[in-house]
Amino acid sequence: MPTGVALQDPHRQLFDAAVRVLARDGVTGLTGRAVTAEAGVAKGVLHRHFADFDAFLVALVLDRIAGLETQAAALRDAAGTGAVADNLTGALSALFEPVMVAIVVLVIARDELRARLRAAGTARLPLVGESTAMIAGYLTAERERGRIAPGADVDVLAPTLIGAAHLLFTERKGSTPEPAAVRRIVTTVLAGALR
């Protein structure tokens, strides 16, 4: 990029570039150079806005977590409408899109990144913990409306759904599971809890 050209939103431009790199090249292809090349900016732009590459990755993950808050609010608002299994199938399918799965792998693979994220106040396993809280919040709202059994333990059901869905989505290389496969997980996990 020629010098003197102002970036409208450098953080967003770099985040979007990182997402494209992750989608195309996976975790191993995500480097500072790959991000700046994808964004079409000089190599120094990333370090002008972030102390180092891990600081950039922390900001990227925190940005994704902020997006989860919007998804969580929409899912809670859906409580009491539609079928519980349909709502959860849609939420899990949207949640575990390929970039999200790649970012979870990235967080697991980089100890320094995980430590910095925890210091920033994320869940013990960033993104996974927040995703679990999103599902638990929805299940709690449904239990309050009587659509989930009163004795249902949402603190067990939510991580079970997240773990099973994560495994299903992670095992797919280049494709996402059919909604029927996600729904089968939901209905199996909630078999004793749905009313």
User: What confidence category does residue 31 fall into, taking pLDDT thresholds of 50, 70 and 90?
Assistant: very high
**pLDDT for residue 3:** 46
Would you call 148 helix, strand, or coil by DSSP?
Answer: strand
The Cβ of residue 172 has, within 10 Å, a number of other Cβ atoms equal to: 13
Instruction: Specify the pLDDT at position 7.
Output: 54
Residue 152 above 70 pLDDT?
A: yes
**Taking a C-beta distance cutoff of 8 angstroms, is the pair 14, 39 a contact?**
yes
- pLDDT, one tens digit per residue, over 32-42 is 999 999 999 99
What is the rounded CA–CA span in Å between residue 147 and residue 150? Answer: 9
The whole-number pLDDT of residue 123 equals: 83
Length of the chain: 195
Average pLDDT over residues 180-188: 97
What pLDDT shows up at residue 99? 87
Confidence of residue 175 (pLDDT cuts 50, 70, 90): confident
b/e per residue, 21-43, with b = 16+ CB within 10 A?
bbeeeebeebebebbbebbebee
Q: What is the DSSP letter of 28?
A: G
Residue 2 pLDDT class (50, 70, 90 cuts)? very low
pLDDT at residue 174, rounded to an integer: 64
pLDDT in tens, 5-27: 455 789 999 999 999 999 899 89
pLDDT (0 to 100) of residue 125: 87
Checking if the pLDDT of 88 tops 80, the result is yes
Please tell me the predicted confidence (pLDDT) of residue 126: 87
111-135 pLDDT, tens per residue?
999 999 999 999 888 889 999 999 9
Query: Does position 55 have pLDDT exceeding 70, yes or no?
Result: yes
> Residue 1 — pLDDT band, cuts 50, 70, 90?
very low
Cα separation, 146 vs 94, whole angstroms:
25
pLDDT, position 5:
44
State the chain's mean pLDDT as an integer.
91
